[in-house]
Amino acid sequence: MIFIKMTAPPKKKDDLKRSLKAYSKYSALGLQMGALIFAGAYGGKYLDQFWNLQKPWMTMLGTLSGMAIGLYLLLKGLNSDKDV
């Protein structure tokens, strides 16, 4: 009976560098989207207080705008996978 020991191929430095680059890119996309939503909500809340509005229209508009811009930039970043 013959036994073959199977081991994973050794990782190259280029593979590690490529995976770290991809990880940092996707982490940055998520943080960017969160920051845009937060900025839109915070700016909208400020405008609601500044104009003394009864309902939080600017907060809703700012949050939705931040989500739309964040989603656009997220999809744009995901489509540019050729640089990772």
- What is the signed CA dihedral for 23, 26, 30, 36, rounded to 10 degrees? 130
First to last CA, the chain: 45
Question: So what's the pLDDT on residue 22?
Answer: 87
Q: Are 6 and 50 in contact (CB under 8 A)?
A: no
pLDDT tens string, the chain, 84 residues long: the values are 677 777 766 767 788 888 899 899 999 999 999 999 999 999 999 999 999 999 999 999 999 999 999 999 999 998 987 655
Question: So what's the pLDDT on residue 4?
Answer: 73
Q: Is the pTM of this model over 0.75?
A: yes
Pick the closest to residue 32 from 70, 80, 72 (CA basis). Answer: 70
